[in-house]
Structure 1
Amino acid sequence: MDQRISFITLAVRDLDVTRAFYLDGLGWRAEVDVPGEVLMIRTGRHLVLSLWDAGAFEAEVGPIARGAGAPPITLAHNVATPEEVDAILARARGLGADPIQDAMQREWGGYSGYFADPDGYRWEIAVNPGPIGQLVLPGTGS
């Protein structure tokens, strides 16, 4: 696994307030903006900040930490093929990582699965076939 982070995903309580803060307030530009669902902002050559509606976040990743549960953040490592996703998940699990969710085809067109690091932080290993996915792969983004 290359030493890099592709996405930083934060669960947010009110996506409209978040959009106003980052886009209108800070003047950042969205790469992807799906009202009521997600706002994605390129923050580096191969790094995207994904601000995700908390309800949608919980539906895919699990309960937000309100006491027990997953911290309300995921770290994503994007790769080019489903085989790479499977190999990295297997390697992490071989190292003792908690297998949160097996890799599967997602309704948004990608393929991903999750594991938790020793502190419980969720890592998504993913193939994202869309333009935002290409943006974060070394050698493909501009």
Structure 2
Amino acid sequence: MTQQLHLLTVATADLDAVRRLYSDALGWEPHTDVPGEIVFYQVAPGLLLGFFDGEKFDRDTGQAHGGVSGVTLAHNVASREDVAPLVAVMVSGGAVVVKPPRESEFGGIFHALVRDPNGVLWEIAHNPTWSIEPDGAVHL
């Protein structure tokens, strides 16, 4: 199998809450939006983040989803001063702060943790030892 990922899908109980956070508050443009079913956002070259209506997700997978657990999605910003404003924007769109902006106990990172309306945990971080190229390549 080629080492790549094209689609990350999250079951959601409320597609409107997804749109309020990701489209309205963050300004993300949907790649594809099927009302009452699923919305996809292009988050990187070759990678879509999809939010699928929970009941339809369960029918499609044949399993009951139990919420998102043990997973974080991360968004790195250019400076530590950029962390709090982005957290505030996410909160304005319906997210909840789990950990306010602060120094991490790991690796010299300044970060915050925010839970979206579906339970997805986002880390908003500035890591001075990382760099992200314009093409999305990450250098550790």
TM-score by length of 1: 0.46
User: Of the two, which has the highest radius of gyration?
Assistant: 2
